[in-house]
Structure 1
Amino acid sequence: MRPYVMALLKAGPNRSSDSTAAAELQRAHMANIDRLAEEGKLVLAGPFLDDGDLRGIYVFDVATVEEARELTATDPAIAAGSLVMELHPWYGSAGLMGLNDLHHRLQAAPVGE
């Protein structure tokens, strides 16, 4: 077990009704997620599949909520007000640290393996 910071992504006040702008913001949001994962700061991320105000989660491998807050500020969807973050210190499995490597191996494996 080890400490992390859990982020709950919630719908923000500036949800665009322009589908082109929303799609571009989503692409930038996903690029930021990929960057944070590659840097080893983000160990888990994903959306909720319903259409509620709670949109998804992040689990950060950082020492403080303030460090997580600084990382969330790099997200274009946060900067645009499309999403807002609620951050909490969280204690979870140390095994989460291996998820990004496992994800890449499984994603690269041919179907059926």
Structure 2
Amino acid sequence: MKIQLMKNITKFNAKLAKELQADQYGMSKYIIALLKKSSKRNHDSQSAEKLQKAHLENIGRLLKKSKFVLAVPFLDDDEIRGVYIFNVETIEEAKTLTESDPVVKAGRLVVELHSWYGSAALKQLSDLHESISKGDITL
């Protein structure tokens, strides 16, 4: 299957680069959070389901506030359960945001934070995703 790229994005766009706060390489600083299993996973199935629903609602809230550029789960059952890429300046701000997550508060997940350098275009990912999604996975 061939993926067709937008034809009108072929040359440097100074206005867009400024809007996305891109550096000279089209990149931006982010904070990446690795969500890891903790040893405290002894919640009964109803409690775990309730926490998961609250976790998804929290993700939706943070997406609406443009704090994330990406929040995804891993599909295997390894130690790392998911990744957040935050559109924030500091690890301290990302830490505060991760601490608002009900599964982190409950101790089911622990978070490892790192500064990360990636394409400034990631800031448009949520809008692009909305244009190809028929539903909201976070609700």
Mark yes or no: TM-score above 0.5. yes
Q: Which runs of 4+ in 1 moved over 3 A?
A: none
Larger-Rg structure? 2
How big is each residue's C-alpha offset from its partner over 1:37-81, in whole Å with a ceiling of 9 and x where there is no partner? 100001101111111111010000000000000000100000000
> CA RMSD of the aligned region, Å?
1.2
Is residue 93 of structure 1 aligned with residue 119 of structure 2?
Answer: yes
Which one has the bigger helix percentage? Answer: 1
Identical pairs, percent: 52
| TM-score, length of structure 2 as denominator length | 0.75
Structure 2 unaligned blocks of 5 or more: 1-26
Structure 1 unaligned blocks of 5 or more: none
Residue identity in the other structure for 2:55: H
| TM-score, length of structure 1 as denominator length | 0.92
Higher relative contact order, chain-length normalized (CA < 8 Å, sep 6+): 1
Which one has the bigger strand percentage? Answer: 1
Alpha-carbon separation, structure 1, partners of 2:109 and 2:58: 14
Alpha-carbon separation, structure 1, partners of 2:102 and 2:44: 16
Shift of 1:102: 1.1
Structure-1 residue corresponding to 2:96: 70
Count matched residues: 109
Between 1:93-102 and 1:9-18, the stretch displaced more is 9-18
